[in-house]
Amino acid sequence: MKVLFFGLITFIAILLPGSTFAQRSAAEFFEEGNTRAGTGDFNGAMQAYSTVISMSPEHAPSYFNRGLAKANLKDYRGAVQDYNRAIELNPKEALYYQSRGVSKSLQDDFSSAIEDYSKALELNAEDPKIYYNRGVSYAKLKKHRSALTDLDRALSLNPDELAALYARGNCKQDLQEYAGSLADFTRVIELSPKRTGAYAGRGLAKIELGDFQGAAADFTRAIELSPNESEFYEKRGFAKNKIEDYQGAIIDFDKTIQLNPENYQAFYGRGYAKGKLNDTRGAISDLSTSIDLKNSYIGDPKKITYAGKINREALDGLRDQVQQNIKIEHLSDDRAQAYFVRGINKAKVGETKGAIQDLTTAVELNPTYSTAFFSRAMIRSATGDQMGAVMDFSSSIKLRSDYPEAYYLRGILKNSLGEINDGCLDLSRAGELGYQQAYKVISSYCN
Protein backbone atom coordinates (compact mmCIF):
# COMPACT_ATOMS: atom_id res chain seq x y z
CA MET A 1 0.00 0.00 0.00
CA LYS A 2 3.01 2.29 0.28
CA VAL A 3 4.14 1.76 -3.33
CA LEU A 4 4.68 4.94 -5.30
CA PHE A 5 4.65 4.68 -9.08
CA PHE A 6 6.75 6.65 -11.50
CA GLY A 7 5.05 7.76 -14.67
CA LEU A 8 7.31 6.52 -17.45
CA ILE A 9 7.33 9.16 -20.14
CA THR A 10 6.22 7.60 -23.43
CA PHE A 11 5.94 10.79 -25.48
CA ILE A 12 7.93 10.48 -28.68
CA ALA A 13 9.17 13.79 -29.99
CA ILE A 14 8.08 14.26 -33.60
CA LEU A 15 10.34 16.79 -35.25
CA LEU A 16 10.08 17.68 -38.90
CA PRO A 17 13.23 17.09 -40.92
CA GLY A 18 15.57 20.04 -41.07
CA SER A 19 18.84 21.03 -42.55
CA THR A 20 20.73 18.87 -40.03
CA PHE A 21 19.93 15.73 -42.01
CA ALA A 22 22.54 14.68 -44.50
CA GLN A 23 19.91 13.42 -46.95
CA ARG A 24 16.19 12.92 -47.19
CA SER A 25 16.34 9.17 -46.45
CA ALA A 26 17.44 10.04 -42.88
CA ALA A 27 14.23 12.05 -42.40
CA GLU A 28 12.24 9.11 -43.70
CA PHE A 29 13.89 6.77 -41.23
CA PHE A 30 13.16 9.24 -38.43
CA GLU A 31 9.46 9.34 -39.35
CA GLU A 32 9.44 5.54 -39.58
CA GLY A 33 10.84 5.38 -36.04
CA ASN A 34 8.10 7.68 -34.78
CA THR A 35 5.43 5.61 -36.49
CA ARG A 36 6.75 2.33 -35.09
CA ALA A 37 7.03 3.79 -31.60
CA GLY A 38 3.46 5.03 -31.84
CA THR A 39 2.24 1.47 -32.52
CA GLY A 40 4.33 -0.03 -29.70
CA ASP A 41 7.00 -1.53 -31.96
CA PHE A 42 9.90 -0.21 -29.90
CA ASN A 43 12.43 -2.65 -31.33
CA GLY A 44 11.62 -1.48 -34.83
CA ALA A 45 11.66 2.16 -33.71
CA MET A 46 15.08 1.71 -32.11
CA GLN A 47 16.50 0.28 -35.33
CA ALA A 48 15.07 3.17 -37.36
CA TYR A 49 16.55 5.78 -35.01
CA SER A 50 19.90 3.97 -35.09
CA THR A 51 19.89 4.29 -38.87
CA VAL A 52 19.23 8.02 -38.55
CA ILE A 53 22.11 8.35 -36.08
CA SER A 54 24.48 6.51 -38.44
CA MET A 55 23.57 8.98 -41.17
CA SER A 56 23.31 12.11 -39.00
CA PRO A 57 25.31 11.55 -35.77
CA GLU A 58 24.60 15.06 -34.42
CA HIS A 59 20.80 14.73 -34.43
CA ALA A 60 19.81 14.99 -30.75
CA PRO A 61 16.10 14.05 -31.22
CA SER A 62 17.10 10.66 -32.61
CA TYR A 63 19.22 9.88 -29.57
CA PHE A 64 16.40 11.02 -27.32
CA ASN A 65 13.74 9.01 -29.15
CA ARG A 66 15.96 5.94 -29.20
CA GLY A 67 16.42 6.40 -25.45
CA LEU A 68 12.64 6.46 -25.02
CA ALA A 69 12.35 3.27 -27.08
CA LYS A 70 14.96 1.58 -24.88
CA ALA A 71 13.19 2.77 -21.74
CA ASN A 72 9.94 1.24 -22.98
CA LEU A 73 11.86 -2.01 -23.42
CA LYS A 74 13.09 -1.60 -19.80
CA ASP A 75 16.68 -1.06 -20.93
CA TYR A 76 17.10 1.88 -18.57
CA ARG A 77 20.91 1.87 -18.63
CA GLY A 78 20.93 2.01 -22.41
CA ALA A 79 18.29 4.74 -22.31
CA VAL A 80 20.46 6.86 -19.98
CA GLN A 81 23.38 6.56 -22.41
CA ASP A 82 21.23 7.87 -25.25
CA TYR A 83 19.81 10.67 -23.10
CA ASN A 84 23.38 11.64 -22.15
CA ARG A 85 24.26 12.10 -25.82
CA ALA A 86 21.04 14.00 -26.56
CA ILE A 87 21.83 16.38 -23.68
CA GLU A 88 25.39 16.88 -24.91
CA LEU A 89 24.00 17.93 -28.27
CA ASN A 90 21.12 20.02 -26.87
CA PRO A 91 21.47 20.93 -23.17
CA LYS A 92 18.45 23.27 -23.22
CA GLU A 93 15.67 20.69 -23.61
CA ALA A 94 13.83 20.04 -20.30
CA LEU A 95 12.24 16.81 -21.55
CA TYR A 96 15.67 15.22 -22.00
CA TYR A 97 16.59 15.75 -18.35
CA GLN A 98 13.16 14.67 -17.19
CA SER A 99 13.30 11.42 -19.15
CA ARG A 100 16.81 10.67 -17.95
CA GLY A 101 15.61 11.26 -14.41
CA VAL A 102 12.82 8.73 -14.88
CA SER A 103 15.23 6.06 -16.13
CA LYS A 104 17.57 6.76 -13.22
CA SER A 105 14.65 6.55 -10.80
CA LEU A 106 13.67 3.19 -12.20
CA GLN A 107 17.20 2.02 -11.36
CA ASP A 108 16.77 3.36 -7.77
CA ASP A 109 19.35 6.09 -8.42
CA PHE A 110 17.11 8.68 -6.79
CA SER A 111 19.75 11.25 -5.84
CA SER A 112 21.01 11.55 -9.40
CA ALA A 113 17.43 11.55 -10.68
CA ILE A 114 16.62 14.52 -8.45
CA GLU A 115 19.50 16.43 -10.02
CA ASP A 116 18.01 15.78 -13.47
CA TYR A 117 14.50 16.80 -12.40
CA SER A 118 15.88 19.98 -10.85
CA LYS A 119 17.65 20.85 -14.09
CA ALA A 120 14.46 20.14 -16.04
CA LEU A 121 12.57 22.54 -13.75
CA GLU A 122 15.14 25.26 -14.39
CA LEU A 123 14.21 24.95 -18.05
CA ASN A 124 10.47 24.39 -17.57
CA ALA A 125 9.11 25.38 -14.17
CA GLU A 126 5.45 24.76 -15.07
CA ASP A 127 5.45 21.02 -15.79
CA PRO A 128 3.56 19.16 -13.02
CA LYS A 129 5.02 15.79 -14.06
CA ILE A 130 8.53 16.94 -13.22
CA TYR A 131 7.48 18.08 -9.75
CA TYR A 132 5.66 14.77 -9.28
CA ASN A 133 8.65 12.67 -10.28
CA ARG A 134 11.05 14.68 -8.14
CA GLY A 135 8.63 14.49 -5.22
CA VAL A 136 8.45 10.72 -5.50
CA SER A 137 12.25 10.50 -5.61
CA TYR A 138 12.49 12.63 -2.47
CA ALA A 139 9.98 10.32 -0.79
CA LYS A 140 12.04 7.28 -1.76
CA LEU A 141 14.99 8.91 0.02
CA LYS A 142 12.79 9.56 3.10
CA LYS A 143 12.98 13.31 2.51
CA HIS A 144 9.27 13.66 3.06
CA ARG A 145 9.08 17.43 3.58
CA SER A 146 10.81 18.07 0.27
CA ALA A 147 8.57 15.47 -1.34
CA LEU A 148 5.47 17.13 0.02
CA THR A 149 6.56 20.52 -1.30
CA ASP A 150 6.99 19.11 -4.81
CA LEU A 151 3.74 17.17 -4.74
CA ASP A 152 1.86 20.26 -3.54
CA ARG A 153 3.31 22.17 -6.49
CA ALA A 154 2.41 19.39 -8.93
CA LEU A 155 -1.18 19.43 -7.71
CA SER A 156 -1.38 23.23 -7.82
CA LEU A 157 -0.62 22.91 -11.54
CA ASN A 158 -2.88 19.88 -12.10
CA PRO A 159 -5.27 19.51 -9.12
CA ASP A 160 -6.86 16.20 -10.07
CA GLU A 161 -3.77 14.22 -11.07
CA LEU A 162 -4.42 10.80 -9.54
CA ALA A 163 -0.81 9.70 -9.22
CA ALA A 164 0.18 12.91 -7.43
CA LEU A 165 -2.81 12.76 -5.07
CA TYR A 166 -2.03 9.15 -4.24
CA ALA A 167 1.66 9.88 -3.70
CA ARG A 168 0.88 12.89 -1.51
CA GLY A 169 -1.53 10.80 0.56
CA ASN A 170 1.26 8.32 1.24
CA CYS A 171 3.74 11.11 1.95
CA LYS A 172 1.42 12.72 4.49
CA GLN A 173 1.04 9.39 6.26
CA ASP A 174 4.82 9.14 6.52
CA LEU A 175 4.74 12.62 8.09
CA GLN A 176 1.89 11.52 10.39
CA GLU A 177 -0.42 14.12 8.85
CA TYR A 178 -3.33 11.71 8.81
CA ALA A 179 -6.18 14.16 8.25
CA GLY A 180 -4.49 15.47 5.11
CA SER A 181 -3.73 11.95 3.99
CA LEU A 182 -7.39 11.00 4.42
CA ALA A 183 -8.46 13.97 2.29
CA ASP A 184 -6.09 13.03 -0.53
CA PHE A 185 -7.18 9.40 -0.63
CA THR A 186 -10.82 10.47 -0.51
CA ARG A 187 -10.25 12.63 -3.58
CA VAL A 188 -8.56 9.74 -5.37
CA ILE A 189 -11.60 7.57 -4.62
CA GLU A 190 -13.95 10.28 -5.93
CA LEU A 191 -12.00 10.42 -9.18
CA SER A 192 -11.30 6.68 -9.45
CA PRO A 193 -13.75 4.61 -7.33
CA LYS A 194 -11.99 1.32 -8.03
CA ARG A 195 -8.52 2.38 -6.86
CA THR A 196 -7.85 -0.36 -4.27
CA GLY A 197 -4.80 1.27 -2.73
CA ALA A 198 -6.72 4.47 -2.03
CA TYR A 199 -9.25 2.62 0.13
CA ALA A 200 -6.43 0.89 1.97
CA GLY A 201 -4.54 4.17 2.44
CA ARG A 202 -7.65 5.92 3.70
CA GLY A 203 -8.36 3.00 6.01
CA LEU A 204 -4.90 3.35 7.55
CA ALA A 205 -5.48 7.08 8.03
CA LYS A 206 -8.80 6.40 9.75
CA ILE A 207 -7.15 3.93 12.11
CA GLU A 208 -4.65 6.58 13.14
CA LEU A 209 -7.47 9.11 13.58
CA GLY A 210 -9.50 6.72 15.73
CA ASP A 211 -12.31 6.11 13.22
CA PHE A 212 -12.16 2.33 13.45
CA GLN A 213 -15.67 1.76 12.09
CA GLY A 214 -14.81 3.83 9.04
CA ALA A 215 -11.48 2.04 8.68
CA ALA A 216 -13.21 -1.35 8.70
CA ALA A 217 -15.56 -0.13 5.96
CA ASP A 218 -12.67 1.06 3.79
CA PHE A 219 -10.77 -2.19 4.16
CA THR A 220 -13.98 -4.06 3.33
CA ARG A 221 -14.11 -2.16 0.04
CA ALA A 222 -10.41 -2.82 -0.57
CA ILE A 223 -11.04 -6.54 0.00
CA GLU A 224 -13.94 -6.50 -2.45
CA LEU A 225 -11.59 -5.10 -5.09
CA SER A 226 -8.60 -7.28 -4.13
CA PRO A 227 -9.81 -10.34 -2.17
CA ASN A 228 -6.43 -12.06 -1.92
CA GLU A 229 -4.49 -9.26 -0.23
CA SER A 230 -3.70 -10.60 3.23
CA GLU A 231 -2.75 -7.23 4.71
CA PHE A 232 -6.24 -5.84 4.10
CA TYR A 233 -7.80 -8.56 6.27
CA GLU A 234 -5.17 -8.00 8.96
CA LYS A 235 -5.86 -4.26 9.11
CA ARG A 236 -9.61 -4.80 9.14
CA GLY A 237 -9.15 -7.31 11.95
CA PHE A 238 -7.20 -4.68 13.91
CA ALA A 239 -10.03 -2.17 13.42
CA LYS A 240 -12.60 -4.76 14.53
CA ASN A 241 -10.62 -5.43 17.69
CA LYS A 242 -10.75 -1.70 18.38
CA ILE A 243 -14.57 -1.67 18.11
CA GLU A 244 -14.75 -4.87 20.21
CA ASP A 245 -15.99 -7.08 17.37
CA TYR A 246 -13.71 -9.88 18.51
CA GLN A 247 -15.45 -12.69 16.63
CA GLY A 248 -15.27 -10.69 13.41
CA ALA A 249 -11.63 -9.90 14.10
CA ILE A 250 -10.80 -13.58 14.53
CA ILE A 251 -12.45 -14.37 11.19
CA ASP A 252 -10.31 -11.72 9.50
CA PHE A 253 -7.11 -12.90 11.17
CA ASP A 254 -7.94 -16.50 10.19
CA LYS A 255 -8.14 -15.35 6.57
CA THR A 256 -4.93 -13.36 6.90
CA ILE A 257 -3.07 -16.39 8.22
CA GLN A 258 -4.56 -18.58 5.49
CA LEU A 259 -3.17 -16.20 2.85
CA ASN A 260 0.08 -15.47 4.68
CA PRO A 261 1.01 -17.95 7.44
CA GLU A 262 3.99 -15.78 8.44
CA ASN A 263 1.99 -12.64 9.25
CA TYR A 264 2.85 -12.30 12.94
CA GLN A 265 0.62 -9.22 13.23
CA ALA A 266 -2.37 -11.47 12.55
CA PHE A 267 -1.37 -13.94 15.28
CA TYR A 268 -0.99 -11.01 17.67
CA GLY A 269 -4.43 -9.61 16.81
CA ARG A 270 -6.09 -13.02 16.96
CA GLY A 271 -4.43 -13.77 20.27
CA TYR A 272 -5.70 -10.49 21.68
CA ALA A 273 -9.24 -11.23 20.47
CA LYS A 274 -9.17 -14.76 21.90
CA GLY A 275 -8.07 -13.36 25.25
CA LYS A 276 -11.02 -10.99 25.23
CA LEU A 277 -13.34 -13.94 24.49
CA ASN A 278 -11.81 -15.88 27.41
CA ASP A 279 -10.06 -18.39 25.16
CA THR A 280 -6.96 -17.87 27.25
CA ARG A 281 -5.06 -20.94 26.08
CA GLY A 282 -5.74 -20.05 22.46
CA ALA A 283 -4.61 -16.50 23.17
CA ILE A 284 -1.33 -17.66 24.68
CA SER A 285 -0.70 -19.96 21.73
CA ASP A 286 -1.30 -17.23 19.14
CA LEU A 287 0.68 -14.62 21.04
CA SER A 288 3.54 -17.09 21.38
CA THR A 289 3.52 -17.58 17.61
CA SER A 290 3.44 -13.82 17.12
CA ILE A 291 6.51 -13.43 19.30
CA ASP A 292 8.47 -16.33 17.84
CA LEU A 293 7.68 -15.98 14.12
CA LYS A 294 10.70 -14.54 12.28
CA ASN A 295 11.61 -12.41 15.29
CA SER A 296 15.19 -11.19 15.11
CA TYR A 297 14.80 -9.67 18.57
CA ILE A 298 13.89 -12.88 20.37
CA GLY A 299 16.08 -14.04 23.20
CA ASP A 300 16.00 -15.11 26.81
CA PRO A 301 14.67 -12.22 28.89
CA LYS A 302 16.69 -11.12 31.89
CA LYS A 303 15.29 -12.16 35.23
CA ILE A 304 14.95 -9.39 37.74
CA THR A 305 14.15 -10.23 41.39
CA TYR A 306 13.34 -7.94 44.24
CA ALA A 307 13.44 -8.54 48.02
CA GLY A 308 10.53 -8.01 50.37
CA LYS A 309 7.39 -10.10 50.79
CA ILE A 310 4.39 -8.83 52.75
CA ASN A 311 1.18 -10.80 52.81
CA ARG A 312 -1.71 -8.57 53.68
CA GLU A 313 -5.32 -9.47 53.11
CA ALA A 314 -6.51 -5.87 52.88
CA LEU A 315 -3.78 -5.05 50.38
CA ASP A 316 -4.75 -7.96 48.16
CA GLY A 317 -8.42 -7.02 48.35
CA LEU A 318 -7.86 -3.38 47.44
CA ARG A 319 -5.42 -4.21 44.68
CA ASP A 320 -7.67 -6.82 43.11
CA GLN A 321 -10.49 -4.29 42.84
CA VAL A 322 -8.48 -2.31 40.28
CA GLN A 323 -9.46 -3.14 36.73
CA GLN A 324 -6.83 -3.02 34.02
CA ASN A 325 -8.05 -1.51 30.78
CA ILE A 326 -6.05 -3.38 28.15
CA LYS A 327 -6.32 -2.01 24.62
CA ILE A 328 -4.87 -3.39 21.44
CA GLU A 329 -1.99 -1.30 20.12
CA HIS A 330 0.09 -1.39 16.96
CA LEU A 331 2.59 -4.25 17.02
CA SER A 332 6.18 -3.10 16.71
CA ASP A 333 8.96 -5.10 15.06
CA ASP A 334 10.32 -6.25 18.44
CA ARG A 335 6.83 -7.63 19.39
CA ALA A 336 6.82 -5.92 22.81
CA GLN A 337 3.03 -5.57 22.67
CA ALA A 338 2.58 -9.29 22.05
CA TYR A 339 4.75 -10.14 25.07
CA PHE A 340 2.59 -7.74 27.09
CA VAL A 341 -0.78 -9.22 26.08
CA ARG A 342 0.55 -12.77 26.46
CA GLY A 343 1.75 -11.90 29.94
CA ILE A 344 -1.70 -10.63 30.92
CA ASN A 345 -3.30 -13.84 29.66
CA LYS A 346 -0.74 -16.01 31.48
CA ALA A 347 -1.56 -14.18 34.71
CA LYS A 348 -5.24 -14.98 34.23
CA VAL A 349 -4.53 -18.72 34.26
CA GLY A 350 -2.12 -18.52 37.18
CA GLU A 351 1.14 -18.70 35.24
CA THR A 352 2.60 -15.82 37.23
CA LYS A 353 6.24 -16.66 36.58
CA GLY A 354 5.68 -16.76 32.85
CA ALA A 355 3.55 -13.61 33.04
CA ILE A 356 6.28 -11.66 34.84
CA GLN A 357 8.85 -12.98 32.39
CA ASP A 358 6.78 -11.79 29.42
CA LEU A 359 6.14 -8.36 30.93
CA THR A 360 9.83 -8.03 31.78
CA THR A 361 10.68 -8.75 28.16
CA ALA A 362 8.09 -6.18 27.06
CA VAL A 363 9.68 -3.40 29.12
CA GLU A 364 13.20 -4.44 28.09
CA LEU A 365 12.19 -4.15 24.45
CA ASN A 366 10.25 -0.93 25.06
CA PRO A 367 11.55 0.93 28.14
CA THR A 368 8.78 3.54 27.78
CA TYR A 369 5.98 0.97 28.07
CA SER A 370 4.15 2.44 31.08
CA THR A 371 1.24 -0.01 30.99
CA ALA A 372 3.60 -3.00 31.01
CA PHE A 373 5.37 -1.69 34.14
CA PHE A 374 1.95 -1.20 35.74
CA SER A 375 0.78 -4.73 34.91
CA ARG A 376 4.04 -6.28 36.12
CA ALA A 377 3.64 -4.36 39.38
CA MET A 378 0.15 -5.81 39.84
CA ILE A 379 1.42 -9.35 39.37
CA ARG A 380 4.47 -8.84 41.59
CA SER A 381 2.29 -7.48 44.36
CA ALA A 382 -0.05 -10.46 44.05
CA THR A 383 2.94 -12.80 44.52
CA GLY A 384 4.14 -10.88 47.58
CA ASP A 385 6.98 -8.94 45.95
CA GLN A 386 5.80 -5.58 47.25
CA MET A 387 9.13 -3.76 46.88
CA GLY A 388 9.42 -4.85 43.28
CA ALA A 389 5.83 -3.71 42.72
CA VAL A 390 6.56 -0.26 44.19
CA MET A 391 9.51 0.12 41.84
CA ASP A 392 7.39 -0.83 38.84
CA PHE A 393 4.59 1.55 39.79
CA SER A 394 7.22 4.28 40.17
CA SER A 395 8.55 3.51 36.67
CA SER A 396 5.01 3.64 35.31
CA ILE A 397 4.42 7.04 36.92
CA LYS A 398 7.70 8.45 35.59
CA LEU A 399 6.58 7.54 32.11
CA ARG A 400 3.01 8.73 32.58
CA SER A 401 2.56 11.38 35.25
CA ASP A 402 -1.25 11.35 35.02
CA TYR A 403 -1.71 7.63 35.74
CA PRO A 404 -4.22 7.60 38.67
CA GLU A 405 -4.34 3.83 39.18
CA ALA A 406 -0.55 3.72 39.51
CA TYR A 407 -0.55 6.43 42.18
CA TYR A 408 -3.42 4.67 43.96
CA LEU A 409 -1.76 1.28 44.09
CA ARG A 410 1.65 2.67 44.97
CA GLY A 411 -0.01 4.56 47.81
CA ILE A 412 -1.59 1.37 49.15
CA LEU A 413 1.68 -0.52 48.90
CA LYS A 414 3.67 2.21 50.66
CA ASN A 415 1.11 2.21 53.44
CA SER A 416 1.47 -1.53 53.79
CA LEU A 417 5.25 -1.13 53.98
CA GLY A 418 5.04 1.49 56.72
CA GLU A 419 5.62 4.56 54.54
CA ILE A 420 2.30 6.04 55.61
CA ASN A 421 2.93 9.71 54.75
CA ASP A 422 4.26 8.99 51.27
CA GLY A 423 1.51 6.48 50.71
CA CYS A 424 -1.21 8.94 51.65
CA LEU A 425 0.29 11.60 49.37
CA ASP A 426 0.11 9.11 46.49
CA LEU A 427 -3.51 8.37 47.32
CA SER A 428 -4.24 12.10 47.40
CA ARG A 429 -2.70 12.49 43.95
CA ALA A 430 -4.81 9.59 42.63
CA GLY A 431 -7.91 11.35 43.95
CA GLU A 432 -6.89 14.61 42.26
CA LEU A 433 -6.59 12.72 38.99
CA GLY A 434 -10.17 11.47 39.33
CA TYR A 435 -9.77 8.05 40.96
CA GLN A 436 -12.54 8.43 43.55
CA GLN A 437 -11.84 5.12 45.31
CA ALA A 438 -8.67 6.75 46.68
CA TYR A 439 -10.68 8.90 49.08
CA LYS A 440 -12.28 5.86 50.66
CA VAL A 441 -8.85 4.42 51.37
CA ILE A 442 -7.61 7.79 52.67
CA SER A 443 -10.56 7.88 55.03
CA SER A 444 -9.77 4.42 56.34
CA TYR A 445 -5.97 4.42 56.42
CA CYS A 446 -4.68 8.00 56.45
CA ASN A 447 -6.70 9.72 59.21
Find, among 265, 244, 428, the residue nearest to 332 by Cα: 265
The pLDDT of 254-280, averaged and rounded, is 96
Least confident among 5-9, 77-81, 125-129: 5-9
Residue pLDDT, tens place only, 13-36:
444 344 344 445 788 999 999 999
In angstroms, rounded to a whole number, what is the distance separating the alpha carbons of residues 383 and 200? 46
Q: Side-chain half-sphere of 299: how many Cα atoms within 13 Å? A: 8
pLDDT value of position 204: 97
Residue pLDDT, tens place only, 135-166:
999 999 989 999 999 999 999 999 999 999 99
Where are the domains positioned within the chain?
1-169, 313-332+347-445
- Pairwise pLDDT comparison (197 vs 325), residue with the higher score: 197
Asked whether 97 and 119 are in contact (CB, 8 A), the reply is yes
For a pLDDT cut of 90, what percent of the chain falls above it?
69
In angstroms, rounded to a whole number, what is the distance separating the alpha carbons of residues 257 and 234? 9
Residue pLDDT, tens place only, 221-266:
999 999 999 999 999 999 999 999 999 999 999 999 999 999 999 9
pLDDT value of position 315: 72
CA angle centred on 360, ends 295 and 241, rounded to 5°: 65
Q: What is the average pLDDT value for the chain, to the nearest integer?
A: 87
Q: Does domain 313-332+347-445 have CATH number 3.40.718.10?
A: no
In the CATH scheme, what is the homologous superfamily, with its name and number, of domain 1-169? Tetratricopeptide repeat domain (1.25.40.10)
Read off φ and ψ for residue 221, nearest 5 degrees.
-65, -40
> What's 263's DSSP letter?
-
Residue pLDDT, tens place only, 159-190:
999 999 999 999 999 999 999 999 999 999 99
Same fold, 1-169 and 313-332+347-445: yes
pLDDT value of position 30: 92
- Pairwise pLDDT comparison (271 vs 412), residue with the higher score: 271
pLDDT value of position 14: 45
Residue 194's CB: how many other CB atoms inside 10 A?
10
Residue pLDDT, tens place only, 311-351:
356 777 777 777 776 777 788 888 999 999 999 999 999 99
Asked whether 355 and 344 are in contact (CB, 8 A), the reply is yes
Beta bridge partners of 385: 309
- Indicate if the pLDDT at residue 2 is higher than 50: no
